[in-house]
Amino acid sequence: QASHAFAQYAAGRGFSIVSGLAHGCDAAAHLGSLNANGHTVACLAHGLDTIFPTDHKALARQIIEAGGSLVSEYPIGTAPRANRFLERNRIQVGLSYAVLVIETDVAGGTMYTARCALAEKRTLSAYAPPVDDNARTAPARGNDQLIRSQHAIPITTLVDLDAWLKRLEFGAIDEQGGGSTQRAVPYEPQLLLDGPTPAYEEPCNSDESQPSVTPAKRSRRKRKSGPVAATQEDMFSSPPG
C-alpha cells in the first residue's frame, strides 16, 4: 500500500518512478505511477526478449503504452538468474535522482540498493511504518537500521513524502542527509522505489562481494552491453524453449 500510494503521489508531482517489475513493492510502484498518468521505468534482470515474472506481461505492456520504458543491460537471449537481480539494482540507482526504500531486512538485494545509493551520493529515504503498523516486523529491520544510522530520511505519511519531494525539487538536501546540494533535474526527475522481491530474486547477503556501481546511460538503440530500451517486438515474446 505504501509503495503504491507514494509512487502515485510522486508521479502526480512529475517524478518518474523507477522500479524492477517484480511482485510486491515493484509492481505496486509501477501501478501507482500509471494510476497518476505518470512516467515509469522498469529495470529488468534479463534480456528484453522476455518478461519476468511472466504474469507481469500485461503490466509491462501498460508501462510501454503509457510512454514508459523497459531497460536492461543484458543482450537479447539472456535468461533471468539470481545474481542478475542484484546487478540490476545498481542500474536502478544509476537511473534515479533519489531512492525510497519501502521495505528491507538488514541483508539482501534491497539493502544492496541502499548501499549503491549512498555510494553514488543519491538522496536516500526509507519508509518508517507507524508504531502500531504490522509492517514493523523482521522484513523492515533494514529500514530501521538505515534511519537510525541517519543514512536515510524517514518517510511515514504523504505529508512527509511531500516535504521530501519539495526538498528534492529545490536541491535542499545536503550530503549529511544522504543527498547532494545540486538542483534536481527540472524535467521528470527519476525516483526509485524499492522493496523486497520473491526468494528467487533475492540474490545476495551483506557478506557477498559486490559489483562496481556506475551510473547507467540510457540509449535509444540496442547494444550488446549497457542498458538498452525495450522495443514493441521484443518485450512481450515468450522466453526461448
Q: pLDDT tens digits, the chain, 241 residues: what are they?
A: 899 999 999 999 999 999 999 999 999 999 999 999 999 999 999 999 999 999 999 999 999 999 999 999 999 999 999 999 999 999 999 999 999 999 998 888 899 999 999 999 999 999 998 876 554 555 688 999 999 999 999 999 999 999 999 998 877 554 444 443 333 333 356 776 666 654 443 333 333 322 222 223 333 333 333 443 443 333 343 333 3
Q: Any residues with CB less than 8 A from the CB of 181 and at least 6 apart, and which?
A: 171, 173, 174, 175
Cα three-residue angle 156-160-161, rounded to 5 degrees: 95
The size of the chain, in residues, is 241
pLDDT at 137: 55
| SS3 call for 217 | coil
| CA–CA dist 101, 108 (Å, integer) | 13
Q: What is the dihedral of CA 79, 234, 223, 62, to 10 degrees?
A: -100
| CA–CA dist 2, 8 (Å, integer) | 10
| CA–CA dist 169, 11 (Å, integer) | 13
pLDDT at 192: 67
Q: Classify residue 131 as exposed, middle or buried by CB count within 10 Å of its CB (0-12, 13-18, 19+).
A: exposed
pLDDT at 109: 86
